[in-house]
Amino acid sequence: MPELPEVEIMARNAHAWAADARIVELRVDDPAVVRAGLDLLAAAPGAQVRRARRRAKYMVLETSAFDLVVHFRMTGKWVRSDTRAARLRITTTLGEVALVDTRRLAEIWALPPASADAWLAARGLGDEPFPEVRDGEWWRARLEGAGAIKPALMDGARVAGIGNIVATEACWRARVWPWARPTSLDADGWAALAGAVRSFIADALAADGGDEIAYVNEGGAPPSYHAVYRLGGRPCARCGAPIAKATQAARSTYWCPGCQLLGADAAPSAAPQGRRRR
């Protein structure tokens, strides 16, 4: 499932492929993908593409005729057009771009020009952790009051764009136990978490595979910058202990019980499932 790094890459690609081009044709192959503004898309031919950008896990394509907001959900991808079935295709003077989506869960909203920001603001999205540099105090203020740090990282109303992979890997990099309560971290712990989120996102962006994003959940080997996600049972790269896996807040969590001890209870080798949460 695409998170901040993947959506950022797709927005950068879309910008590189279509910014300043004129739309020649826009074809909606699967009308179910368009949640709003289907009529606005009829005005696409001749419109100028201004830019593509990311906000949270949304990609926004701004044109002179409409703003297109895309949420990729599980398997949606913005690609240079190819022979696959697409849900929507845009042919511009620079070539064709398309939304492909094997599970058909992606959503598109066509909005009047220059109205995407207001639409997104109404969704209650948290502030962006990237590309702005956020320090430990910023993270402490955002996660304050949460029950546990890792699910709070994934709460889009607190911080935008972070999903299970970024949250899981950032906790490992910062040595933060996923169940740690925010009050258990000191300033050094928050600084470590701030640096961990930033470095993981930077590594994910640097590993950008080109024109098409590969999602981890599609199978294949985990990327080299992953230390724990989907690596249960393998030795920790830092301390050699086997990576553990558990369900936390209905999501898979992976962590190292040997060296990921910031904020941990006395015996963190097992997940605190079944324990009464305070």
For Zn ion, which is the closer residue by CB, 80 or 238?
238
Is residue 27 near Zn ion by the rule CB under 5 A?
no
Is residue 258 near Zn ion by the rule CB under 5 A?
yes
For the question of residue 113 being annotated catalytic, the response is no
Q: Are the beta carbons of 229 and 169 closer than 8 angstroms?
A: yes
Is residue 239 near Zn ion by the rule CB under 5 A?
yes
In the complex, least distance from residue 185 CB atom to Zn ion, rounded to whole angstroms: 18
For the question of residue 62 being annotated catalytic, the response is no
* Interface stretch with Zn ion, choices 83-91, 103-111, 128-136, 231-239 (CB under 5 A): 231-239
For the question of residue 151 being annotated catalytic, the response is no
* Interface stretch with Zn ion, choices 1-9, 18-26, 67-75, 257-265 (CB under 5 A): 257-265
* Interface stretch with Zn ion, choices 18-26, 105-113, 181-189, 254-262 (CB under 5 A): 254-262
Is residue 259 near Zn ion by the rule CB under 5 A?
yes
Q: How far apart are CA 130 and CA 114, in angstroms?
A: 22
For Zn ion, which is the closer residue by CB, 237 or 249?
237
Residue of minimal CB distance from Zn ion?
236
Catalytic residue among 54, 57, 140, 150: 57
Judged by CB under 5 A, the residue of 256, 262, 263, 268 near Zn ion is 256
For the question of residue 3 being annotated catalytic, the response is yes
Q: Which residues bind Zn ion (CB under 5 A)?
A: 236, 238-239, 241, 256, 258-259
Report, as residue numbers or ranges, the catalytic residues.
2-3, 57, 251
